[in-house]
C-alpha cells in the first residue's frame, strides 16, 4: 500500500514538471518564432541618445557687404566607438582594424586624414612633435591623463616623440601588436585585416585616429571627424561598406572659406579645433563651447570669436546595438547661427594695395639679384649695398616648394619641366 502512494506522488511531480516544461517551450516558441521580429524591433528601439546639431559660424564682410569669410557645405567622414565587444582584446582589434582600413581608403582616394596627434614625420624620416612650449606640455598631459601639466612625472614631461609613439602603440594605450601580453595571432590579423608591421605613416595614422577617439572616451557616442570635405568617391565607398566599417559614417559639415586670398590672410586669421586651454577659458564665458567646437585662432576670427561663434543644438534619436540611428524623435534645441561681422575695410582697395606692394617688393628684389654663386658681405657697411646671389634665389624656390622637382618627374610634367630634369641629371652625372 505504501509503494502505491509513493508511485502516485512521483507521477504527480513528473506531471507537474512536464506541464511546466510544455508551458516554457510554448512561451519560447511564441517569443522567438511567432513574435520574434516584433520583440527584436522593440528591443532595438530601447536605446536613446542625444546627437549634436552643429551650428554655422557667422560671416565676415567688408564695408560694402562683400564676403570675406563664409561657410561652404561639405561632407566629412566620421567615426564613433559604438561597437559591442566581448573583451578588451576584441575591442582593440576591431578599432585598430577600422582605423587601418580608413587610412587605406583615404590614401587610395587621395584624401587628407584629419590627424590631431601632435606628432609628424620630419625630413629625416623620424618622429618629432609639431608643437612646442605649453601646447606640447598640454598634449603630453592629456595622453597621460593628467589634469594639470604640473602633475606629470619628469619622465612623462621629457618623453621624446619616438618614445611617445611606442607608448601609444603599446598595451598601455592602443595595443597595436598585442594585448594582455599575448601577440595577435595570424588568424586574428587575417580576420581583422591587420598587419604584423606598419610603415611610419600607417602607424601614425592608426594611432592618430585612436588618439582622437581616446579624447572622446568620456562620451562614447560622440563622433570624431576623420576627414573633411571628402570626395563623392569616398562618400560612395563608405556608404556602401558601412556594415563592415563599424562606427564609420558620413555627415554634413561646413568648412570655412576665405575670399581675397593672401591680401586678407593676416587680417582675417584662421579657425581650428578648440584646444584644452581655449576650452577652459571660453567655457567661463559661455557653456556652449565643447571639445567639438571650432574657434578663431588669430586675426578677426579670434578677436570677434564670441560674436561669430554660433550655438550648437541637440536632438534625441533611437539607435540599435551597433549605434546606427533607427529613428529620430525630436529636436531638443535648434542650432543658432553665429552673428555676422562687418569690417571698415574695402575689399577692392585692399587687394589693389596688396598687388602694388607685391610688385614693388618684387622689383626691389629683382634689382638686387646677381648672377653669382656667392656674395661677400664682409666689406658691406650699409644694408642697401647687399646683393642676392642667384643661387640663393634658386635654393629658396626649391625649399619653399615653388619649384617641385618630384612633380616635374611625373608623367603630368610639361616638356619644359622634363628638359630641366634632364639637364639637372646630366649636371649631377658630370659632378
pTM score: 0.70
In a domain, 40, yes or no: no
Count of positions (residues) in the chain: 431
Rounded distance between C-alpha atoms, residue 310 and residue 300, angstroms = 16
Residues 285 and 140 grouped into a single domain: yes
Rounded distance between C-alpha atoms, residue 299 and residue 305, angstroms = 10
200-251 residue pLDDT tens: 999 999 999 999 989 877 665 678 889 999 999 999 999 988 888 888 999 8
Residues 237 and 369 grouped into a single domain: no
Q: Of 342, 362, 385, which residue sits at a domain end?
A: 342
In a domain, 255, yes or no: yes
Residues 335 and 356 grouped into a single domain: no
Residues 233 and 99 grouped into a single domain: yes
User: Would you give the DSSP letter of residue 149?
Assistant: G
* Number of C-beta neighbours around residue 268 at 10 A: 22
Residues 95 and 237 grouped into a single domain: yes
In a domain, 42, yes or no: no
Rounded distance between C-alpha atoms, residue 358 and residue 313, angstroms = 45
Residues 121 and 194 grouped into a single domain: yes
Q: Of 322, 342, 362, which residue sits at a domain end?
A: 342
Q: Which residue has the higher pLDDT, 340 or 286?
A: 340
Q: What are phi and psi of 95, to 5 degrees?
A: -70, -40
Residues 160 and 244 grouped into a single domain: yes
> What is the SS3 assignment for 59?
coil
In a domain, 74, yes or no: yes
In a domain, 44, yes or no: no
In a domain, 11, yes or no: yes
Rounded distance between C-alpha atoms, residue 75 and residue 221, angstroms = 19
Q: So what's the pLDDT on residue 367?
A: 86
139-187 residue pLDDT tens: 999 899 888 899 999 999 999 999 999 999 999 999 999 998 999 999 9
Residue 30 · residue 24 · CB < 8 Å: no
Q: So what's the pLDDT on residue 1?
A: 47
Residues 124 and 253 grouped into a single domain: yes
Cβ burial 351-390 (10 Å sphere, 16+ → b, else e)? beebeeeeeeeeeeeeeeeeeeeeeeeeeeeeeeeeebee
In a domain, 41, yes or no: no
Residues 233 and 331 grouped into a single domain: yes
pLDDT at 45 over 50: no
Residues 360 and 217 grouped into a single domain: no
Residue 225 · residue 76 · CB < 8 Å: yes
Q: What is the CATH classification number for the domain harbouring 228?
A: 3.90.1310.10
Per-residue cell: 209: 585616429
Q: Of 342, 369, 387, which residue sits at a domain end?
A: 342
3-state helix, strand, coil in the chain (%, to 5): 45, 20, 35
CA angle 385, 386, 391 (to 5 degrees): 145
- When divided into structural domains, the chain yields a total of 3
Residues 283 and 397 grouped into a single domain: no
Question: Which range marks the domain in which residue 17 is found?
Answer: 2-34
In Å, what is the CA distance from 326 to each residue of 8, 74, 137, 282, 292?
56, 24, 42, 35, 24
Residues 56 and 73 grouped into a single domain: yes
Amino acid at each position: 500500500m505504501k509503494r502505491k502512494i509513493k508511485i502516485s506522488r512521483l507521477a504527480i511531480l513528473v506531471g507537474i514538471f512536464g506541464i511546466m516544461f510544455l508551458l516554457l517551450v510554448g512561451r519560447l516558441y511564441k517569443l522567438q518564432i511567432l513574435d520574434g521580429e516584433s520583440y527584436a524591433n522593440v528591443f532595438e528601439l530601447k536605446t536613446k541618445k542625444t546627437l549634436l546639431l552643429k551650428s554655422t559660424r557667422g560671416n565676415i564682410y567688408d564695408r560694402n557687404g562683400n564676403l570675406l569669410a563664409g561657410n561652404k557645405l561639405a561632407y566629412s567622414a566620421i567615426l564613433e566607438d559604438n561597437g559591442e565587444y566581448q573583451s578588451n582584446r576584441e575591442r582593440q582589434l576591431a578599432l585598430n582594424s577600422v582605423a587601418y582600413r580608413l587610412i587605406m581608403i583615404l590614401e587610395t582616394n587621395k584624401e587628407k586624414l584629419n590627424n590631431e596627434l601632435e606628432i609628424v614625420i620630419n625630413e629625416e624620416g623620424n618622429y618629432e612633435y609639431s608643437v612646442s612650449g605649453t601646447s606640447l606640455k598640454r598634449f603630453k598631459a592629456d595622453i597621460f591623463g593628467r589634469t594639470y601639466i604640473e602633475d606629470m612625472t619628469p619622465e612623462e614631461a621629457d618623453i621624446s616623440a619616438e618614445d611617445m609613439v611606442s607608448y601609444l602603440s603599446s598595451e598601455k594605450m592602443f595595443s597595436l601588436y598585442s594585448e594582455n601580453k599575448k601577440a595577435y595571432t595570424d588568424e586574428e590579423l587575417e580576420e581583422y585585416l591587420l598587419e604584423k608591421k606598419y610603415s611610419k605613416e600607417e602607424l601614425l595614422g592608426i594611432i592618430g585616429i585612436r588618439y582622437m577617439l581616446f579624447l572622446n572616451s568620456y562620451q562614447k557616442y560622440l563622433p570624431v571627424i576623420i576627414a573633411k570635405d571628402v570626395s563623392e568617391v569616398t562618400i560612395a565607398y563608405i556608404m556602401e561598406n558601412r556594415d563592415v566599417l563599424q562606427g564609420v559614417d558620413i555627415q554634413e559639415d561646413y568648412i570655412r572659406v576665405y575670399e581675397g586670398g593672401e591680401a586678407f590672410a593676416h587680417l582675417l586669421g584662421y579657425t581650428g579645433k578648440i584646444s584644452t586651454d581655449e576650452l577652459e577659458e571660453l567655457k567661463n564665458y559661455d557653456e556652449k563651447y565643447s571639445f567639438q567646437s571650432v574657434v578663431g585662432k588669430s586675426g578677426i576670427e579670434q578677436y570677434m570669436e564670441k560674436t561669430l561663434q554660433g550655438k550648437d543644438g541637440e536632438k534625441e534619436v533611437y539607435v540599435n546595438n551597433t549605434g546606427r540611428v533607427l529613428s529620430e524623435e525630436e529636436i531638443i534645441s535648434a542650432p543658432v547661427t553665429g552673428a555676422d561681422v562687418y569690417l571698415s575695410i574695402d575689399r577692392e582697395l585692399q587687394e589693389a594695395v596688396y598687388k602694388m606692394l607685391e610688385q614693388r617688393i618684387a622689383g626691389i628684389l629683382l634689382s638686387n639679384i646677381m648672377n653669382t654663386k656667392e656674395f661677400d658681405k664682409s666689406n658691406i657697411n650699409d644694408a642697401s649695398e647687399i646683393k642676392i646671389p642667384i643661387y640663393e634665389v634658386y635654393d629658396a624656390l626649391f625649399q619653399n616648394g615653388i619649384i617641385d622637382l618630384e612633380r616635374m618627374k611625373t608623367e603630368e610634367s610639361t616638356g619644359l619641366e622634363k628638359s630641366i630634369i634632364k639637364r639637372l641629371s646630366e649636371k649631377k652625372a658630370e659632378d
